[in-house]
Amino acid sequence: MDTSTLTHYLHLFHCEAIHTVLFSRLLKEFGNIASVLESTEQPLLTLGLNREQVTAIQQLDKNPAVREPVDIEMKWQQTSGNAIICYESNDYPHLLREIDCAPPLLFVVGRKALLSSAQIAIVGSRNASSYGTQNAFWMAHELSQAGLVIDSGLAKGVDTHAHLGALAANKPTLAVLGSGADIVYPAGNKQLAAQIAEEGAVISEFPLGMPPLPQNFPRRNRILSGLCLGILVVEAAPKSGSLITARLAMEQNRDVFAIPGSISGQLSRGCHRLIKEGAKLVEQPSDILEELGGLSGFITATSSPVEVEASVASERAPGINRQNKLILEVMGYQGCLLQTMLDHTGMEIQQLNMQLLQLELQGQIEVQGGRYTRVK
pTM above 0.85, yes or no: no
Which is nearest to 164 in space by CA: 118, 119, 115, 200? 200
Interval 340-376: pLDDT, tens? 888 888 887 767 877 787 787 677 888 776 788 888 6
Interval 289-345: pLDDT, tens? 999 875 444 444 435 555 555 545 544 444 456 778 888 888 887 788 888 888 888
**Crossing angle, helix 269-276 and helix 241-251, to 10 degrees?**
20
Which is nearest to 129 in space by CA: 265, 249, 4? 265
Residue 45 and residue 151: Cα distance in Å, rounded? 38
Tell me: pLDDT of 184 over 70.
Answer: yes
- Of the listed ranges 9-13, 59-63, 84-88, 310-314, the least confidently predicted one is 310-314
- Are 125 and 239 in contact by the 8 Å Cβ rule? The answer is no
User: CA dihedral in degrees (315, 319, 322, 323; nearest 10)?
Assistant: -60
- Are 13 and 60 in contact by the 8 Å Cβ rule? The answer is no
Q: Strands across the sheet with 119-123, in order?
A: 82-86, 105-110, 201-204, 173-176, 149-152, 119-123, 230-233, 255-258, 280-281
Write down the pLDDT at residue 300: 42
The 8 Å CB, 24+ separation contacts for 306-310 are 306/134, 306/361, 308/137, 308/138, 308/141, 308/142, 309/134, 309/137, 309/138, 309/357, 309/358, 309/361
- Rounded to an integer, the average pLDDT of 187-199 is 94
Using a pLDDT cut of 70, give the percent of the chain over it: 91
User: For the chain, which domains are there?
Assistant: 3-112 (no CATH), 117-306 (3.40.50.450), 316-374 (1.10.10.10)
- Of the listed ranges 60-64, 201-205, 255-259, the least confidently predicted one is 60-64
Residue 49 and residue 23: Cα distance in Å, rounded? 11
